[in-house]
Amino acid sequence: MFENEHTIRRFMIEKAEGEFHVKYERAAEQVRSEFGKKYPIIIAGKRVKTATTTHTSPIDSRLVLGYIPAGTGRHVKQAISAARKAFETWGKTDYRERVRICRAAAELMSQHKFELAAWMSYENGKNRYEAIGDVDEAIDFVRYYAEEMERNNGFEITTKSAQPNEKSKSVMKPYGVWGIIAPFNFPAAILTGMTVGAVITGNTTIVKPSSDAPITAFKIVEIFEQAGLPDGVINLVCGSGSNVGAKLAKSSDVSGIAFTGSRDVGYAMAKEFSKSRPKPLIAELGGKNPAIVTETADLGKAVDGVMKAAFGFSGQKCSACSRVIVHKKVKDEFLRRLAEKTKSLPVGNPIDPNTFVGPVINKSAYEKYQKYAKIAAKSGKLVVGGSTRKEGDLKHGYFVEPAIVTGLPKNHRLFKEEMFVPILCITDYDKFDDAIRIANDIDYGLTAGIFSENKDEVKQFLASIEAGVVYVNRQVSATTGAMVGCQPFGGWKDSATTSRGAGGPHYLTQFMREQSQTLAN
């Protein structure tokens, strides 16, 4: 029976938080000893050397984490050829063998979880708790999808017989070669989830990791190799979107693409990918996620839930809470308490155990935060934050303050655009119908939350909210933190192309096509 990894919870239950910190810090020390290595592309199990780019840390741009291969269209072509060849065997491999290998990879990932988490902290700035949670989620995806394959008998179902002398069944079969294009913010969880979704169902892959977190991806691919995955089933090609991602989208030999990233890039990719004929593209495309706080809300729960959802990982989650719609009667008190707690959030080096808010991912995000903060100050009122942090060693990284803005017009661009930085917009409402209307008045529909002790309001929220993942009175996080096997993660409207949630019972079927088989006597 599948169980979530829950590393931090297990250490807390065993009253061994100290051991958790020791393991992480030892792993961080080991990771530091590997700084400056050169990494290759992986094609058909072979290490391919290329020109490289210098990969630095958002914590401190002086830290050279490694030298990353700059993949080209030629490498993409070679990887596709390798994946096509591997598919000839892997696509016909019994699903039980695919499950066995993936489970072995999950076990190895669990053994190396602290090393993977430490790499992640240096690569994308996640604090130790969020980094371990990311790795846990990756492990959960592998084990959950393995169980789903077994539970569904490899997605083979006996059907009714049309004639007395016939036997029929429905068989789901893999498409072929898939491109996997992963984001920086969940470089273990999302990359692994999309890749295993393709691989465990019999497809082969070309994985393009984010240029901001390629080493984590390299380590994960190595783990799958060690687990016994045949050469060519996962090929790793690092490089820019224009050199790697675009080439995958243009290739007639790529059968499907799984992508997580921005709406504009995703829609452009979908158009290019299906130019000659419709092909499956599983894309998660962001969000502009609301939390409604009603006059009956438990404000303690609401403040905690909103703060964690808005400022966890510096707001760089597609599920982050970026809008709060709060009843006029409780707005002032809610805002006062939220501002007070937000001001106390420790901003700093994510390797420090006390840090809650680490850096944003890169210079572009750093500049974007400053641009949006200026707009917020001009069009509304910045209650908290709005400045960069430059004291001490922070001046060498991309550190910013969590920000809260009020007083914006309800149709202001900051209420509409996905910013992907730690800026939270707050507005008020009078009638509950208005709160629902404001929450839904957006192109996106990924996550949403409500805090209310009124059962009728909760019922109306659940019936009317336009989002794929919704939460009620959730103090641990108003809009983030979906768990594999518990809360399938997928969006509506412009937030996704399929709306079949990752980590849920309908996800794997997207990587397969149905074949009806009838045998007559």
Which residues are catalytically annotated?
284, 318
Comparing C-alpha atoms, which of 463, 493, 458, 490 is closest to residue 474? 458
Please give the Cα distance from 440 to 444 (Å, whole number): 8
SS3 423: strand
Please give the Cα distance from 433 to 331 (Å, whole number): 17
Please give the Cα distance from 249 to 238 (Å, whole number): 15
Please give the Cα distance from 162 to 170 (Å, whole number): 13
**Which residues have a Cβ under 8 Å from the Cβ of 428 and sit 6 or more positions away?**
325, 326, 327, 328, 331
Residue 267's φ and ψ, nearest 5 degrees, are -70, -40
Judge contact between 90 and 44, C-beta under 8 A: no
For the beta carbon of residue 329, count every other beta carbon within 10 angstroms: 13
DSSP per residue, 229-289:
PPTTSEEE----IIIIIHHHHH-TT--EEEEES-HHHHHHHHHHHTSSS---EEEE----E
User: Which residue matches tokens 């703060």?
Assistant: 307
Helical pair 455-464 and 432-440, crossing angle rounded to 10 deg = 30
Judge contact between 178 and 259, C-beta under 8 A: no
Residue 324's φ and ψ, nearest 5 degrees, are -120, 130
Please give the Cα distance from 450 to 461 (Å, whole number): 8
Cα dihedral sign for 208, 422, 390, 380?
Answer: positive
SS3 126: coil
Q: Burial, 111: exposed, middle or buried (Cβ in 10 Å; 0-12, 13-18, 19+)?
A: exposed
Residue 49 corresponds to which tokens in the numbers above?
């050397």
Residue 474 corresponds to which tokens in the numbers above?
């959730």
